[in-house]
């Protein structure tokens, strides 16, 4: 899985790259809170601003926002990622494509309310978020209850959160959290690429689909706010695994070793049972 502090390629000087592509990196995003679509409208261009602001949270190296921004010039795309190396690559892609409607912000996923006003965001994309399968890392998931409650605050009433993942356990965990956080599911797919073949791809989608993954998707919109959002779901992704442990099928990224260990345990138990 993507390390939060990825190793740098040879001859890659991160600071130099961040400096070179600084025009596509917003270092003081809180300044734009409440006025992203107007404040980021390109200088010298007539008009009242972008139609809407969409966020790609955990945007990685930016393939998805760059292609999305190229297709929809009247929408502002804000890519957010905690990993500076990803920010450098994404900013480079934005500048090389000469896009004026995409920007990246180097921040953690818990920062949304600090940089966006209530209802300011029309869509939050979560493309292949890091699954963090262990219970003790559950709070780091971008689909945890705490994060989803924060996203609700910045999403427009008609807005959507769009999750795409290769991981059935993460998708099923997300379903529990969306319910607790007061969202309603407006679209769900076991094969999103087949249902929306024209949707831009992300780097992870390309890579994982080449390894045999199907894209699972959930789109959710804010519904009635729950009176009490207490965590009642199981937090380990192991508890969402299928009984057959994906036998003969694609194993979700980030859970490979867990599955190997569980299959070994199962085999040992079966041998023990026979003895
Ligand atoms: C598996 S990669 C997916 C990247 C991209 N969305 C894609 O589909 O190719 C997950 C990304 O989320 C970022 N990430 C993980 N946890 C994060 C957090 N709490 N806040 C912001 N970014 C995070 C990582 O740095 C990484 O770039």
Least Cα distance to 133 among 230, 242, 259 occurs for 259
Tokens of 107: 């921040």
In this structure, the residue with its CA closest to atom 12 of ligand 1 is 58
- Residue 58 in contact with ligand 1 by CB distance below 6 A: yes
At residue 223, φ and ψ (nearest 5 deg) are -115, -155
Q: What is the pLDDT of residue 6?
A: 63
Q: Compute, in angstroms, the gap from residue 56 CA to the centroid of ligand 1.
A: 10
For the stretch 194-246, pLDDT in tens is 999 999 999 999 999 999 999 999 999 999 999 888 999 999 999 999 999 99
In DSSP terms, 55 is beta-bridged to 78, 124
The 3 state secondary structure assigned to 208-237 is HHHCCCCCEEEEEEECCCCCCCCCCCCCCH
Q: Compute, in angstroms, the gap from residue 247 CA to the centroid of ligand 1.
A: 28
Q: What is the pLDDT of residue 272?
A: 85
- Residue 78 in contact with ligand 1 by CB distance below 6 A: no
Q: Which residues contact 185 (CB under 8 A, 6 or more apart)?
A: 175, 178, 218, 219, 220
For the stretch 88-105, pLDDT in tens is 999 999 999 999 999 999
- Residue 60 in contact with ligand 1 by CB distance below 6 A: yes
CATH for the 14-236 domain, from 3.30.428.10, 3.30.1510.10, 3.40.190.80, 3.40.50.150:
3.40.50.150
Q: How many CB atoms lie within 10 A of CB 117?
A: 14
Q: Which atom number of ligand 1 is nearest to the Cα of residue 140?
A: 19
Task: Determine the residue of 5, 14, 82 to mutate for testing ligand 1's pocket, defined as the one with the most ligand atoms within 8 A of the Cβ atom.
Answer: 82
For the stretch 121-160, pLDDT in tens is 999 999 999 999 999 999 999 999 999 999 999 999 999 9
Residue owning tokens 């079966």: 270
């Amino acid at each position: 899985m993507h390390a939060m502090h990825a190793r740098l390629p040879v001859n890659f000087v991160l600071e130099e790259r961040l400096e070179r592509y600084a025009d596509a990196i917003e270092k003081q995003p809180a300044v734009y809170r409440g006025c992203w679509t107007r404040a980021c409208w390109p200088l010298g261009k007539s008009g009242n601003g972008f139609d809407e602001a969409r966020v790609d949270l955990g945007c990685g190296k930016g393939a998805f926002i760059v292609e999305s921004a190229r297709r929809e010039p009247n929408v502002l795309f804000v890519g957010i990622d905690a990993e500076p190396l990803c920010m450098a690559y994404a900013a480079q892609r934005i500048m090389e494509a000469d896009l004026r409607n995409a920007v990246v912000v180097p921040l953690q996923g818990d920062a949304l309310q600090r940089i966006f006003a209530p209802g300011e965001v029309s869509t939050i994309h979560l493309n292949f978020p890091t699954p963090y399968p262990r219970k003790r890392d559950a709070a780091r998931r971008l689909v945890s209850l705490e994060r989803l409650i924060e996203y609700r605050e910045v999403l427009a009433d008609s807005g959507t959160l769009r999750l795409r993942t290769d991981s059935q356990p993460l998708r099923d965990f997300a379903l529990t959290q969306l319910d607790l956080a007061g969202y309603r599911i407006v679209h769900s797919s076991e094969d999103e690429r087949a249902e929306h073949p024209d949707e831009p791809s992300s780097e992870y989608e390309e890579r994982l689909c080449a390894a045999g993954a199907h894209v699972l998707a959930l789109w959710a919109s804010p519904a009635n706010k729950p009176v009490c959002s207490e965590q009642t779901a199981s937090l380990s992704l192991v508890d969402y695994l299928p009984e057959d442990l994906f036998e003969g099928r694609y194993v979700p990224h980030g859970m490979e070793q867990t599955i190997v260990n569980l299959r070994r345990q199962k085999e040992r138990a079966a041998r023990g049972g026979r003895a």
